[in-house]
Structure 1
Amino acid sequence: MAKKIRKMLGDVNAPEVAALMRLIDTQSKATICKWCMDYAEAHILPIFERRRPGDGRPRNALNAARDYLDGKVKFPVVKNIILNECHAAARELDSDPAAQAAARACGQSSAVVHTLSHSLGLYFYGAAAVAYDRVGTDETAEVYDRIAKEVCADITAALRTIAVENEPNPAKIKWRC
């Protein structure tokens, strides 16, 4: 029987994920959105674009989300691009788990403009994208767990670099995980 590929990597109950969630909880919506989109664009989108050259759908979603934050478009436009472009790209990529996870991570990062709890999707799907891109899909659970922890540390460090100390308007996030 073929090995089942996990769509996401990481453990929501892991101490490093709990620490990330606590840090996210201290930040404003603007900071969380910037962090998610910047990280996805710098670290996750290149995985997708290298594996799927010429497919601009995840980049379009990130750009549309930025346009929404800048007041250039209404949310229904962004939602349409996320669902009908970015997530559609992911659904088409069962044969390439790294590109599929990268597209999902970009979609989740874009959707943060509407639902801040999607910020964890950057981590869970991003970890899968990085791991499958780096080592393929035939490694042990221990290897994937190690890579997921590395990605969590990197994502957390990226947020720390832009985090506002004593943020006066922290976002109110309802974590449903």
Structure 2
Amino acid sequence: MAKLRKMLGSPDSPYIISLMRLIETQSKHTISCWAVSYAQQVMLPIYEKSALKSDCVKLALETAQGYLAKEKNLAEVKAAAKEVMAQAKQPGLSPSEQAAVRAISSSLSSISTPTSALGMCFYAAAALAYDRVGTEETDTVYEQIAAEECQKMYQRLQEIAVEHEENPAKIDWNC
């Protein structure tokens, strides 16, 4: 087995390129709604398996949802995101739990930096792969899981995508 990776996927993978192209067509708000919702529904349950779990992660996602509903301010989201990032560095987390926290942190960052939503995808693929099959599989198995999950993420974004969005986010991928 190769060394475990923090993220799975590659910027030149067809499934990532498809996601990037769809993200580019959407507003900052739509992108962050998608990322935060995905993190809450799919990543939080992986993290919550941890004996070391902290309520700050769930509360941060709730704060982000509040911001997206115009009930919280950006400073509150940024403070919550900082706490979540500290959780990712917590010793003793399994690889899947650590990747899930990183995915959650990236989803929170997407509120101010839409390109962070792509980081969420890479971390989420790792979290799901390690949660599903452990850490002793081949790169081929992990790549297949990443491709399948990124396709699901694409479908979730496509479901809420605004057709002919008038104010798409200004994206510079730098990858």
Determine if the TM-score, normalized by the shorter chain, exceeds 0.5. yes
Deviates further, 51-60 or 130-139: 51-60
Question: With structure 2 as the length reference, what TM-score do the two structures score?
Answer: 0.92
Structure 1 segments, 4+ long, off by >4 Å, are: none
Summarize the alignment of residues 53-92 of structure 1 with structure 2, pairs less than 5 Å apart: 55-83=54-82, 85-92=83-90
1:136 Cα deviation from its structure 2 partner: 0.6
Partner SS state of residue 50, structure 1: coil
- 1:52-101 Cα distance to aligned partner (Å, 9 max, x none): 47522222221222223333333232212211x21111111454110000
Alignment correspondent of 1:123: 121
Give the 3 Å change call, closer, same or farther, for CA 50–94 of structure 1 in structure 2: closer
Equivalent of residue 155 in structure 2, options 153, 157, 175: 157
TM-score normalised according to structure 1 size: 0.91
**8 Å CA contact 1:86, 1:107 repeated in 2:** yes
Q: Counterparts of 2:159 and 2:39 in 1: how far apart (Å)? A: 15
- Give percent identity, aligned residues only: 45
- Give the Cα separation in 2 of the matches to 1:22 and 1:113: 18
SS state at 2:121 partner: helix
The answer as to whether partners of 1:98 and 1:128 remain within 8 angstroms in 2 is yes
Q: Is the 8 A contact 1:40 1:105 kept in 2?
A: yes
1:76-115 aligned at under 5 Å gives the runs 76-83=75-82, 85-93=83-91, 95-115=93-113
Structure 1, unmatched stretches of 5+, are none
Q: Which residue of 1 aligns with 2:130?
A: 132
Per-residue deviation at 1:148? 0.4
Q: Number of paired residues?
A: 175
Q: Distance in 1 between matches of 2:117 and 2:99?
A: 14
CA deviation after TM superposition for structure 1 residue 140, in Å: 0.4
For 2:48, the aligned partner's letter is: E
Q: 1:51 Cα deviation (Å)?
A: 2.8
Distance 2:10 2:31 in 1: 21
